[in-house]
Amino acid sequence: MTLHIDIPEETLSDILAKAFRNSAFVAGFVITLLILAMAIASYAWTPYDVTRLVISDKTQAPSLAHWFGTDHFGRDILSMVMVGARNSIAVALVAVGIGMGVGVPVGAFAAARGGLVDEALMRVNDLVFAFPALLSAIMITAIFGPGAVNAIIAIGIFNIPVFARVARAGALAIWPREFILAARAAGKSSTQITVEHVLPNIATLLLVQGTIQFALGILAEAGLSYLGLGAQPPMPSWGRMLFDAQTRMVVAPWMAIFPGMAIVVTVLGLNLLGDGIADILDPKSRRQR
């Protein structure tokens, strides 16, 4: 597979050097890495067992023993935040995978074919966009029952038209270029051209959109599990923790503060990472939201 980069004189080390000078990228990269490390570490070690209830320790304020305090069952909030990261990341990441896996081929196909196929696919896209995503996610989880897997499906479905749109727009800009014409003259089929020439050229675009959708997925998962439609107890999830915290705001505000901060930091990190990548690889690109 040949890779076509817009600025051929730029080598990998040039890009890396630029990356380390880009503060948004560095901050986003470090934050994302830390959150990932926290989620992975939670498999091996957490300060306390998140499934053990110690009623005598309930709603304790943050202390040296419990950095983030404890909840109404005496569970350690820091441990729950760590384990909750797994759930958030897994749901959002797989939802991005679904969106890319289906959306990118659809968008690339629409761009390659054009005409009626393109028109029809874009109208289907319009249709999906007409449904407020969260409302439909609630309906989907209501049909199939609440749970992490159904949350993934619900969020993933709404990633599909986003990636289809980005892939199509990106591909449409590539198709009129000379090297595509050359590939055509060489007798390559439109599928071959799409795979070998179009997709590598829109990879950056998709990567940036991927980080945006990843961040949005974390927010959507938190919303769904706040409404009781995401991961089910005893599996800790950030949204569910916020729901439990709501009625106890007066006695235990830390129950709401720390899971919320975990969401904010994670989403912030991913957005900075996306901004950074977009900046480094194409200074002219503007994020489309």
Applying CB under 8 A, the residues found at the interface with other proteins are: 123, 126-127, 129-135, 138-139, 142-143, 215, 219, 222-223, 226-227, 242, 245-246, 249-250, 253, 256-257, 259-260, 263-265, 267-268, 271-272, 275, 286-287, 289
- From the CB of 44, what's the least distance to other proteins, in Å? 28
- From the CB of 191, what's the least distance to other proteins, in Å? 29
Q: Does residue 26 contact residue 271 with C-beta atoms inside 8 Å?
A: no
User: Which of 194, 275 has the CB closer to other proteins?
Assistant: 275
**CA–CA gap between residue 60 and residue 43 (Å, rounded):** 25
Q: Does residue 162 contact residue 168 with C-beta atoms inside 8 Å?
A: no
User: Which of 43, 131 has the CB closer to other proteins?
Assistant: 131
For the chain, the distance separating the N- and C-terminal CA atoms, rounded to the nearest angstrom, is 31
User: Which of 64, 123 has the CB closer to other proteins?
Assistant: 123
- From the CB of 274, what's the least distance to other proteins, in Å? 11
Q: Does residue 224 contact residue 231 with C-beta atoms inside 8 Å?
A: no
User: Which of 70, 271 has the CB closer to other proteins?
Assistant: 271
Q: What is the DSSP string of 52-105?
A: ---GGGTTPPS-SSSTT-B-TT--BHHHHHHHHHHHHHHHHHHHHHHHHHHHHH
**CA–CA gap between residue 224 and residue 240 (Å, rounded):** 9
- From the CB of 33, what's the least distance to other proteins, in Å? 17
- From the CB of 129, what's the least distance to other proteins, in Å? 8
- From the CB of 283, what's the least distance to other proteins, in Å? 13
User: Which of 200, 260 has the CB closer to other proteins?
Assistant: 260
Angle at 240 between CA 238 and CA 243, to 5 degrees: 115
Nearest alpha carbon to residue 114 among 190, 178, 183, 185 = 190
User: Which of 65, 120 has the CB closer to other proteins?
Assistant: 120
